[in-house]
Amino acid sequence: MQLNGARILLTGASGGLGGVLARELAQAGAALLLTGRDPVALARIDLPAGSDYRLLQADLTDAAGIDSAVAAARAFGTNILINNAGVASFGLLAEQDWNDIERILATNLGAPIRLTRALLPWLTQQPTAAVVNIGSAFGSIPFAGFTAYSAAKAGLRGFSQALRRELADSTVRVIHVAPRAIDTPINPPAVRALNRALGSATDTPEKVARHILGMLANDVAEGHIGFPERFFAWLNGCAPGLVDQGLRGKLARIKQHAAKA
């Protein structure tokens, strides 16, 4: 898909990955409609001089935020939607507050589905269009300590696959990207400590952003970023019992770090 001249609605633009992704897209020649909850954080996004962009403060977990984003996207002439906004939470399910669990599900799964659904009548009228959903390796390799987050990201992957098949006879491409851990502020100290203890690799937001741009430019429908995560995602689909056994050996360390979250 051609990025130079594309008109992109990017959600979660003020986050660690969102800001870098916005910069990479602007450098590729795209015009950007950048949304986020915090107007101060949105105003701090650093884009190349001369970039064509608009800022929109919106909470996409409520109907008013969805309505304002859709109206702005139509006025902007959007032909690519990137559902990047997300929140993470680390802890054992029985010890998590239900309000936090609802926030995780609403932000990571409910909002992308709701926004995509509302914008589809517009996108299907465009000569070329795309919906890009930023998932997680935990959507394919559900992980202890991230139960609600894994559920939301697994749902987002299923949504992406089903929608791709539903729109196969349209001009709208559906892309699902599953990064592994990214070195951004979304990861609190307890998660960083867990990644170090388990030897889990962490990517820079720049690496992830470039991977996303490559998938868009080359019309790659689905991909996991990083190895061995790509292998374990395949293995979990074929033989989840083997992954169960492998992760059981890490459970004590996960619980130890979850207690500090």
Sequence-ordered alpha helix ranges (H) in the chain = 16-27, 39-43, 63-76, 98-105, 111-123, 147-166, 189-198, 205-217, 229-238, 240-248, 251-258
Q: Could you identify the residue written with the tokens 């889990």?
A: 200
Residue of 76, 149, 159, 232 marked active site: 149
Contact 9, 36 (CB under 8 A): no
What letters, b where the CB count within 10 A reaches 16 and e where it falls short, cover 194-222? Answer: bbeeeebebbebebbbebbbebbeeeeeb
53 is catalytic: no
CA torsion, points 8, 9, 10, 14, in degrees to nearest 10? 110
As annotated, the active-site residues are 149
